[in-house]
Amino acid sequence: MQKKYLFPIYFISTIMILTLSFYLIKQIDPNFINSLLGINIFESEDKTIDNNLTSENNITLSKGISSSDCTITSGYNSLNDSNEKKLYIAIKANADKITDEKYKNSSYYLLSPITISGANLSTSQIKKVVYAFQFDNPEFFWISNLFNYSSGQNKTVVRLTSIFSRSEKENAAKKFSQKISEITAKASRQPNEYEKELFVHDYLIDNCTYKKDSSNNYKIYTAYGCLIGKEAVCEGYSKAMQVLLCKLGIRCQTVTGSRDKEDHMWNVAKIDNKWYHVDVTWDCAGELQKYDYFNLSEELTKKSHTINNVVTASSDFSQDKKYNFELPKCSSMEKNYLEINSVKIENLNDDTRQKIIKKLVSLASDKKKTIHLMIKNNYDSYKSKLFSEEPRLYFDCLKNANTNLINGHKLSTTQSQFLENKIQNVITLKLIYE
């Protein structure tokens, strides 16, 4: 009679053991089902997993990364491993999950941990993913470059940090969104992509102050710092430019490199289906060079800037270097500001003289601040004849322009300030009014 119940007892016991095991597994890992897909985004850090991991490193990315909100995926496309792409996607999904836990003794807040199952990602791989994410997504301005990771037992756990607490981030994001809407509403009234880009360029120059590098103020490296704090380094200017143009439907991304041997960041933008380099930071150096770096070709950009190497899915990634992702070819000068707005000087005959006078009258009628003269040949000789050798043709043009100005905006014919742009052979002069 006892053998009669043996199988049901074993069966029930087995079911109970499996049920208990499944319950215990869920207690250890609250995202058990998600782990089957290889990506877990924890609401709170799993201490058991962290304690068992074999290595731990704290990495701070070099300042000088980039990105965009209008379908820029250059960073993502440069990832060569499915687990790297899983981490990228998980970072985006986890970006709002700011905890109340501070990172060590810093003022930064830890985000909820991200676990990538089935992979022990290296330091350089994780840095590449974070680098790529920030390149593509500058609108996530609260995420800092500081992150912590642990890997082992065929898992990798990554924790990013936020420069804001959860409540601070919500308030900051609201301000940021409102400012973006305010600026793009005005910019969108401009008639074409060139004018929209010019509006954004001028807005950033007029409403943000360049701030020297400060390790205590990460905000100046963000679009938020540029638009809300109104202080930024080149990275903040570039990310703000990228976010705004992308919101206007204009493709734009950042470029890392150097200028005068210092690390630098600027943008490339696609205007009427052609790409150009634009450097807002250097254009904000003064009124006379406000447009020296507005829509340059790569050839001309390289005369003053060094561009970092491009990392691709097949290339090695060194954690000690800075990179770009999928830079487009910029070969046009069609939408270059100085090409469009300068008086072209190919000789010094009467026709050229009349062109200068006409331009001066037009500018002075609206009390504009500068005039650009692009000397196409014989630069040094023509420069001397315009400004030094009697009768000093430029000053003669000023006198003649005044005879045609009937609105009272008379130009000084004895004072002048100018700046030379040797890259394009342009002399920019300040218009001084009497």
CATH number of 169-338: 3.10.620
Q: What is the DSSP string of 280-293?
A: HHHHTT-GGGTTTT
Determine if the peptide bond prior to 391 is cis (ω within 30°).
yes
Reported as a single tens digit per residue, the pLDDT across 283-326 is 998 899 999 999 999 999 999 999 999 987 766 677 666 789 99
What is the SS3 assignment for 428? Answer: strand
Burial 243-273 (b: 16+ CB within 10 A, else e): bbbbbbebbbbbbbbebeeebbbbbbbbbee
Reported as a single tens digit per residue, the pLDDT across 247-289 is 999 999 999 999 988 999 999 999 999 999 999 999 998 899 9
Please give the share of the chain, as a percent, with pLDDT higher than 90. 71
Closest CA to 283 of 266, 302, 260: 266
Q: What six digits make up the tokens of 272?
A: 């009427």
The number of beta carbons lying within 10 Å of the beta carbon of residue 415 is 11
Mean pLDDT (whole number) for 71-100:
93
Mean pLDDT (whole number) for 392-399:
96
Torsional sign, CA 127, 128, 129, 133: positive
Q: Is the pLDDT of residue 139 over 70?
A: yes
DSSP 328: P
Q: Is 180 exposed, middle or buried (0-12, 13-18, 19+ CB in 10 A)?
A: buried
Asked if 268 and 328 count as a contact pair (C-beta separation under 8 A), the reply is: yes
Q: Is the pLDDT of residue 357 over 90?
A: yes
Reported as a single tens digit per residue, the pLDDT across 162-216 is 999 999 999 999 999 999 999 999 999 999 999 999 999 999 999 999 998 766 7
